[in-house]
Amino acid sequence: MPTEVKKSHRNIASVVRTHRLEAEISQKELAEHLGCTDKFIMRVESGIASLPLKMFVRAGKKLEVHPSVFSTAVQMDLSEYHNKVIENEK
């Protein structure tokens, strides 16, 4: 029986963390701008969670990242997850 494949958000995590650090913005400052907690931002940056769709534009403005960058990262995460599921079913 195949084991459960956990979803990873490593690409979106990389985008958020890389651009936040380049902008010299703290997790707390980004969280306040997005209306969430710094713990949630920590979870996003560690790949455990993803930003809700409604936060992409606001995060992009704060981090000076075009929303398409987030879209590409999400697509990559979904593609990797899909490939793991298929591999796991073999």
Q: Residue 40 — φ and ψ, nearest 5°? A: -65, -45
- Summarize pLDDT for 44-76 with one digit per residue, the tens: 999 999 888 889 889 999 999 998 898 899 899
End-to-end CA distance of the chain: 10
CA distance 58 to 79: 25
Does the residue 5 lie in any domain?
A: no
**Which position has the token pair 């591999």?**
87
Residue with more model confidence, 76 or 3: 76
Q: Residue 6 — φ and ψ, nearest 5°? A: -85, 140
For the chain, helix, strand, coil in percent to 5 are 70, 0, 30
CATH of the domain at 39: 1.10.260.40
Domain span at 58: 10-89
Task: Record the pTM.
Answer: 0.84
Does the residue 1 lie in any domain?
A: no
- Split into its structural domains, the chain has a count of 1
Does the residue 21 lie in any domain?
A: yes
